[in-house]
């Protein structure tokens, strides 16, 4: 984690990253405080508005509350549910920004929330899913699995465990969800798997040159950044010097994803930092 923090700091991206993540965390905390206060003071009102903020699978009626396919991700069952999801949000976002932009993170995050509620909704026609779906778990799962799919050999340091590859972290979480499908919270674990599918799908498309989070209109004057170089642009009309630089950055990123940041030599590290600050 120290290496990743050092990388982001030298690329001058930490402030932008923390701002985006802080907005999400603050929004989740604010919604929890408001709903918790409402449930304590006006319990009847809280229960009446619950289906309009959480996602409740109720056949065609669910489609009339279309916003709840996303809004449920800001609602949490209790303080521990909120705390765990916010810790995971912070942890995953810091790792995700090693290779991707904040725009990509937000896109995958909210698409993961949508994927979780959609799979939950479809499964509700065949299984008993409980009263409703709440929590940011599916949303957080999407960028986590996207990162593990993109850089499976990337290593992170976990307390009491040591260094472990992203692919093993992702596999462990998915296996836990699969085993928990027989639990009372089957709906929540199905939503997690929906978010995971979004993460895998996003990475598969990305590796084939399709970035769903990319703006449709781009001009030649837009400044290229370190975070955009992983896309293979064979048809780019940049001068040969820029193409050579991009290929070198691509090679360094591939090396990081396969062997970790520590595998870079001094020259590669200096080159990467210099390009990130241009």
Residue 12 falls in which region: left (phi positive, over 0), alpha (psi -120 to 50) or beta: left
How far is 204 from 220, CA to CA, in rounded Å? 27
pLDDT score recorded for residue 16: 46
Q: Which residues are paired to 156 by β-bridges?
A: 164
Looking at the chain, the domain(s) classified CATH 1.20.1540.10 span 16-207
Alpha helix locations (H) across 97-158?
102-123, 137-150
Residues 148-193: tens digit of each pLDDT: 999 888 888 877 777 888 899 999 999 999 998 888 888 889 999 9
Predicted pLDDT at 109: 96
pLDDT at position 240 is: 67
Conformation bin of residue 264: beta by default, left when phi > 0, alpha when psi is -120 to 50: beta
CB-based burial of residue 10 (10 Å sphere; 0-12 exposed, 13-18 middle, 19+ buried)? middle
Please state, rounded to an integer, the average pLDDT across all residues of the chain: 81
The residues of the chain scoring below 50 in pLDDT are 1-4, 7-16, 220-226, 229, 233, 277
DSSP 226: G
**SS3 label, residue 175:** helix
Under CATH, which architecture does the 16-207 domain have? Answer: Up-down Bundle (1.20)
């Amino acid at each position: 984690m120290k290496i990743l923090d050092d990388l982001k700091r030298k690329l001058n991206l930490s402030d932008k990253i923390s701002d985006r993540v802080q907005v999400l965390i603050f929004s989740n905390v604010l919604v929890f405080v408001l709903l918790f206060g409402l449930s304590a003071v006006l319990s009847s009102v809280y229960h009446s508005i619950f289906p309009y903020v959480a996602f409740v699978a109720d056949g065609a009626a669910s489609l009339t509350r279309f916003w709840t396919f996303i809004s449920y991700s800001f609602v949490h069952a209790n303080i521990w549910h909120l705390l765990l999801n916010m810790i995971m949000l912070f942890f995953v976002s810091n790792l995700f920004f090693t290779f991707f932009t904040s725009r990509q993170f937000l896109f995958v995050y909210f698409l993961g929330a949508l994927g979780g509620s959609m799979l939950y909704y479809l499964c509700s026609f065949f299984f008993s899913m409980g009263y409703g779906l709440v929590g940011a778990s599916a949303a957080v799962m999407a960028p986590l699995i996207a990162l593990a799919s993109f850089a499976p050999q990337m290593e992170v340091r976990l307390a009491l465990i040591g260094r472990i590859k992203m692919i093993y972290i992702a596999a462990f979480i998915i296996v836990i969800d699969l085993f928990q499908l027989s639990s009372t919270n089957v709906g929540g674990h199905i939503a997690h798997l929906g978010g995971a599918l979004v993460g895998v799908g996003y990475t598969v498309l990305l590796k084939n040159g399709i970035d769903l989070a990319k703006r449709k209109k781009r001009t030649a004057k837009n400044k290229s950044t370190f975070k955009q170089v992983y896309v293979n642009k064979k048809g780019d009309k940049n001068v040969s010097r820029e193409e050579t630089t991009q290929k070198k950055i691509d090679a360094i990123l591939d090396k990081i994803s396969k062997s970790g940041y520590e595998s870079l030599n001094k020259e590669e590290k200096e080159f990467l930092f210099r390009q990130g600050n241009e």
